[in-house]
Amino acid sequence: MLFVVVSFCGCERAQQLVNMFNCKFERESINNFRFAGVNFDKFNNFDKISSADLLAITFALAKKTAPITFDMNLIGTNPNKTSAGVEQFKWIFLLEGNELLNGNVLEKFSIPAGGSSSLPPIVINFDAWKFLNGNTNLELAKSLFNLYQNITGKNASGTSNASLKIRPTINGMEFPNYITIN
């Protein structure tokens, strides 16, 4: 496999791609988390949500939608003696082991040798209605707020199993495996 990558990409680019798989990736932050247009970042507790925001959430649930959007920011640390980099990457976002959505980041990025660097932000945007099982109870909005707190790290006692898989590309060639970030 490495021979094929080297022959298509050139030695330096191939090495950058191979180095990417030695890097460690972590969630740096999750920003702009919105449910039904309500910015959850401004609340520490679900009980602090204004009546206008509750109305927006209730209206969305009555329309049988649960639109969620947020920006996921990742940081990569490169233990290699040379830089790691890719031209673009595909991603898959999973929640509780279920694939919610996927997409592409079409920006080049690199991680310096022995250093760390932020990856381009990944915008996650999906309708969580199917996870609510058709129930419009406001308790489900609280559950989504708990999910928000769990994936952003604002609730140390709760957990949600969210992961992101990325598959780098260089010179139009996709690496055969995904890198999983839990």
Q: Is it the case that residue 174 has pLDDT exceeding 90?
A: no
Burial of 48 (0-12, 13-18, 19+ CB in 10 A): exposed
Boundaries of domain holding 56: 2-181
Distance CA 127, CA 135 (A): 14
Closest listed residue to residue 66, CA positions, set 155, 163, 133 = 133
Residue 122: pLDDT above 80?
yes
Which parts of 41-171 fold into alpha helices (H)? 51-62, 138-152
Tokens representing 66?
A: 């649960």
Phi, psi of 89 (to 5 degrees): -150, 150
- CA angle at 141 for the pair 37 and 93, rounded to the nearest 5°: 70
pLDDT at 134: 52
Per-residue tokens: 43: 């609340």
The answer to whether the CB of 144 falls within 8 A of the CB of 160 is no
Banded pLDDT at 2 (limits 50, 70, 90) = very low
Q: Give me the mean pLDDT over the 29-33 stretch.
A: 89
Would you say residue 38 has pLDDT above 60? yes
Q: How many domains does the chain have?
A: 1
Q: What is the pLDDT of residue 3?
A: 45
Does the structure show a pLDDT above 80 at 11?
no
Confidence of residue 166 (pLDDT cuts 50, 70, 90): confident
CATH code: domain of residue 15: 2.60.40
Task: Look at residue 95 in the predicted model and tell me its pLDDT.
Answer: 75
* 1 has a pLDDT exceeding 60: no
Largest CA distance in the chain: 61
Q: What is the mean pLDDT of residues 148-157?
A: 72
Question: Which tokens hold the place of 90?
Answer: 């595909």
Which pLDDT band, with edges at 50, 70 and 90, does 131 fall under? low
Residue 17 has a CB neighbour count (10 Å cut-off) of 23
Question: For position 6, what pLDDT does the model report?
Answer: 45
Structure letter (DSSP) for residue 25: E
Angle between helices 51-62 and 138-152 (to 10 degrees): 110
Residue pair 85/16 in contact (Cβ under 8 Å)? The answer is: yes
Q: Comparing 148 with 81, which gets the higher pLDDT?
A: 81
Q: Give the mean model confidence (pLDDT) for residues 91-120.
A: 88
- Cα-Cα end-to-end distance for the chain: 27
